[in-house]
Amino acid sequence: MTTKVSSTLTGLNVYPVKSCRGVAIPRARIGVRGLELGAVSSPVGDRTWMIVDPDGRFITQRELACLALVETELAPDVLRLSMRGLPAFEVPLARASGTTREVVVWQSTVPAHDAGDAVAAWLAAALGVAARLVRYDARHERRCNPEFAGDSGAHTAFADSFPLLIAGEASLADLNERLAASACAALPMNRFRPNLVISGLPAYDEDHLDTIEVDGIVIKLVKPCTRCTTTTTDQETAIRGVEPLSTLAGYRRNDALGGVTFGMNGIVTGGVGREIAVGSTAHCTYRF
């Protein structure tokens, strides 16, 4: 039996540079690799850029909490990076500029375009380590794990594993109630860096959803998201603590996945090229 319920899309967030501060947006186009902005011919997608070390290996907030302080802004022709105490730096949005090199994100080695020495110098000043900015080579398909994505052909850019991350407002409210019971402060949703936020479902019901249909777009939820130390980093100050991982470990441990989970990873199975907007009704289908 198929069970369908309606919810509301209450948040959309795009993260142009992996592990840097995201951008809350009212609407976006949906692509195979997730949320997109800009011209269809040269879209700016979620995790289009990534910061790497001199050897080309990815750097995230897991290693450098201060990445949370690097703000990203998308202007018509540039990606603007800023951080308190430094002048902003503008990176042209041209799709294929810079030297092509291979970079590593988790187990994937993929081609990317190096954004150049000037932005590398800016990053070194901002982060205190040698680093370079690279842009994903859109001609390459970095396939999602077929154990979860099946034969869908789903692929992503520099996201950890899948094009979209979905979280429910009720789930965060439940977590915050548990934190309050331990005299801990409530946490904002940005700790979990979701792309889509939905309301109107019971806490953690996103765990059991098969699909979400919104604005003619079909998203299939394929895997619970295991959470890392990034969730313990205050996205406004870069100060790291122990929550929410300490509390989540008490009731959200998934031994099969080897960690605690919050939110669901999703892939796009229909409606590529359409727009999705905050405030839209999301029709959710359960797996049972």
All structural domains of the chain with their residue ranges: 4-286
Of 124, 103, 122, 123, which Cα lies nearest the Cα of 112?
A: 103
pLDDT grade for 56, boundaries at 50, 70 and 90: very high
Rounded CA-CA distance 152/99 in Å is 32
Share of the chain above pLDDT 70, in %: 98
DSSP 145-171: -HHHHTTS--EESSSSS-SEEEEEHHH
pLDDT of residue 43: 80
- Cis (ω within 30 of 0) for the bond into 244? yes
Is a pLDDT exceeding 80 seen at residue 19? yes
pLDDT of residue 40: 76
Rounded CA-CA distance 9/197 in Å is 6
Averaged pLDDT for residues 73-96? 89
Q: Which two tokens stand for residue 98?
A: 């810079």
Sequence-ordered list of residues with C-beta below 8 angstroms from that of 236, at least 6 positions apart, any chain: 68
Averaged pLDDT for residues 68-88? 94
Of 287, 252, 288, 286, which Cα lies nearest the Cα of 7?
A: 286
> pLDDT (tens digit, 9 = 90+) per residue, 254-263?
999 999 999 9
The three-state (H, E, C) secondary structure of 212-267, written as one string: EEECCEEEEEEEEEECCHHHHECCCCCCECCCCHHHHCCCCEECCCCEEEEEEEEE
> pLDDT (tens digit, 9 = 90+) per residue, 181-239?
999 999 999 999 999 999 999 999 999 999 999 999 999 999 999 999 999 999 999 99
> pLDDT (tens digit, 9 = 90+) per residue, 119-152?
999 999 999 999 999 999 999 999 999 999 999 9
